[in-house]
Amino acid sequence: MSGFVGRERELASLAGLLDEIRAGRTDERGRALLLRGRRRVGKSRLVEEFCEGAGVPWVYFTATAGESAAREREEFVRVVVEESTLPEREEFRGLTSPSWVGLLRQLAAALPADQPSIMVIDEVPHLVAGDPAFEGALQTAWDRYLSRRPVLLIGVGSDLSMMTMMTEYGRPFHQRATEMVLAPLSPAAVQELTSLPPADAIDAYLITGGLPLVCRQWLPGMTVPEFLQRSFADPISALVVSGERSLAAEFPTELRARKVLSIVGGEGERTFANIARRYGADGAPLAPGSLSQALASLIEKGLVIAETPLSTRPAPKDKRYGVADPYLRFWLTFVEPALPVLERGRADLAMARWERRWHSWRGNAVEPVIRNAVARLLPSSQWPGAVAVGAWWPRSNQPQIDLVAADREPVAREVVFVGTIKWREQSPLTGGDAAELARDALAVPGVTVQTPLVGVSRSGVEASGLAAVWQPADLLDAWR
């Protein structure tokens, strides 16, 4: 697996499923897995890497968006005959079938009975969209034919809502498959790929979002400005094109939701009222119901998250929205607005925009990554009751508390600690920062003068009296 960094756990999980089939430790001879994840996160490459190293016969079929069901079945037959390693693949040559059930029944007969094999259907949502009967056909073929062979069936899809829906109660494939979600590479894996110091590696994660295709273009030791200069100078670099291609696939027709996403991610508007106001500033105002619908669609797609303040008092009306994916957040802010100048070969203008906004943008963008890291470090022996991590803000947005740990969410019984995040390039977390935290934290419902105070700093700490301090290396350890 040379050069295949950060996926060791997922490869081991896939190998474990194959071992179960090989050892006959399942009620049925076969196993099914539904693998989902954001576009360009590396799902197909992971599965191909696994198939090529598994040492068993395999077939890998990829569906095409908008293709007819009949044409997909023809392509499936061609792939089995010309691209698979199944020993009986020649029996498929010239085969036709009016239904997926018949075709998959024929495939089951061609699968080895005396050794495991792998069958991959990539972009399952395309098949479901093109043929409403496909889900039922897959369930029938699995129950009657495929599950009786020692085969690992892997269904792969980027449409998160569709892939999740396939396993819900009442759907044909309910309780027939194990589920796996492939996340982007972790900040620790990004550091391994880039060979950067911890603080710079976290910056690299904010830019790449852990997308393997983008990370692989970051040469080891390359600084952030060097990587951006190189990427901006190439209009087809992964950093430049991945966002546009992903969003074109996500929003072929949903122009309203796409514009809302740009307002949240590119312009940094986070409240319902401000998003609506900004939308209307560019043209016709957006009715509250229409905005709610657009935000719900973005949340369902996994592109946007909605957060509420974490404390002992419920605050559902103080909801804030943010882009879930760090790479997409960076792309919407720095790449999308620069596309016209990048097409003219003016990487210098894109770099100038980045230099003007980077430090203030990074200070906000790093906060959810840090909260995620702290959440992974908890609960601990020091704070056994800390199981939820968030932030707190009032309706006026003043004061804001960067880090809140509690015994539960969304409404806590107890606030375990509160903290401040200072991600400054040169200046450490000072005693003045700690004093400001102690003063402001008393506004948080559930916080008292006895509530422990903690800090997170990019550039060291010069404050005393904090119950804990995390620095960049500590945060990366949360993913190791």
User: In sequence order, what are the beta bridge partners of 35?
Assistant: 156, 180
Q: Can you give the residue range of the structural domain that contains 342? A: 187-365
Q: Are residues 27 and 156 in the same domain?
A: yes
Tokens encoding 178: 């194990």
Kindly state whether residues 371 and 308 are assigned to the same domain.
Answer: no
Please give the C-alpha separations between residue 276 and each of 261, 306, 322, 446, in angstroms, as whole numbers: 12, 16, 15, 32
Same domain, 261 and 387: no
Type of residue at 170: G
Last residue of a domain, one of 136, 153, 181: 181
User: Two tokens at 118?
Assistant: 């792998």
- Looking at the fold, whether 162 and 198 belong to one and the same domain comes out as no
Of 126 and 417, the structure prediction assigns the larger pLDDT to 417
Asked whether residue 1 is assigned to any structural domain, the reply reads no
User: 128-143 pLDDT, tens per residue?
Assistant: 988 889 999 999 999 9
Sequence letter at residue 46: L
pLDDT at position 478 over 80 = yes
Q: Are residues 279 and 257 in the same domain?
A: yes
13, amino acid identity: S
Answer yes or no: is pLDDT of 97 > 80: yes
pLDDT tens digits for 203-247?
999 999 999 999 999 999 999 999 999 999 999 999 999 999 888
One domain for residues 109 and 197? no
Of the candidates 365, 393, 410, which is a domain's last residue? 365
Is pLDDT of 353 > 50?
Answer: yes
| Preceding peptide of 235 cis, ω within 30° | no
Give pTM, 2 decimals. 0.89
What DSSP line would sit under 248-278, residue for residue? HHH-SS-HHHHHHHHHHHTS---SHHHHHHH
Residues 214 and 297 grouped into a single domain: yes
Residue 356 lies in a domain: yes
Question: What is the Cα Rg of the chain in Å?
Answer: 25
User: Tens of pLDDT along 7-25?
Assistant: 999 999 999 999 999 988 7
The per-residue DSSP string of 344-365 comes to TT-HHHHHHHHHHHHHHHHHHH
How do residues 145-189 score in pLDDT, each as one tens digit? 999 999 999 999 988 778 888 878 888 888 899 999 999 999 999
Is the pLDDT at 29 greater than 70, yes or no? Answer: yes
- The sheet with strand 401-406 has its strands ordered as 388-392, 401-406, 415-422, 453-457, 468-470
Among 438, 276, 456, 245, which Cα is nearest to 367's? 456
Same domain, 22 and 129: yes
In a domain, 295, yes or no: yes
Residue-level pLDDT at 184:
94
Number of domains present in the structure of the chain: 3
Q: Which residue, 312, 340, 365, sits at the end of a domain?
A: 365
Q: What is the Cα–Cα distance from 421 to 238, expressed in whole angstroms?
A: 31
390 and 468 co-located in one domain: yes
Residue 235's domain is classified under what CATH number?
1.10.10
- Predicted local distance difference test score (pLDDT) of residue 96: 82
Same structural domain, 176 and 299: no
- What amino acid occupies position 305? I
> Is residue 265 assigned to a domain?
yes
- What separation, in Å, do the N-terminal and C-terminal C-alpha atoms of the chain show? 19
Amino acid at 90: E
Contacts of 67 (CB under 8 A, 6+ apart): 75, 126, 130
Ranking 94-108, 153-167, 326-340 by mean pLDDT, the lowest is: 153-167
Instruction: Report the share of the chain in percent with pLDDT over 90.
Output: 81
**Is residue 99 over pLDDT 80?**
yes
Extract the tokens encoding 50.
């696994």
Amino acid 250 reads: E
**Across the chain, what does the average pLDDT equal?**
93
Together in a domain, 231 and 356: yes
38 pLDDT more than 90: no
138 in a structural domain: yes
Place 197 in a pLDDT band, splitting at 50, 70 and 90: very high
**Where residue 148 sits, what CATH number does that domain have?**
3.40.50.300
Identify the band that residue 26 occupies on the pLDDT scale cut at 50, 70 and 90.
Answer: low
The pLDDT assigned to 4 comes to 66
At 47-65, the pLDDT tens digits run 999 999 999 999 999 999 8
User: Token digits for 226?
Assistant: 């060097």
Whether the per-residue pLDDT at 325 is higher than 50: the answer is: yes
Q: Are residues 147 and 61 in the same domain?
A: yes
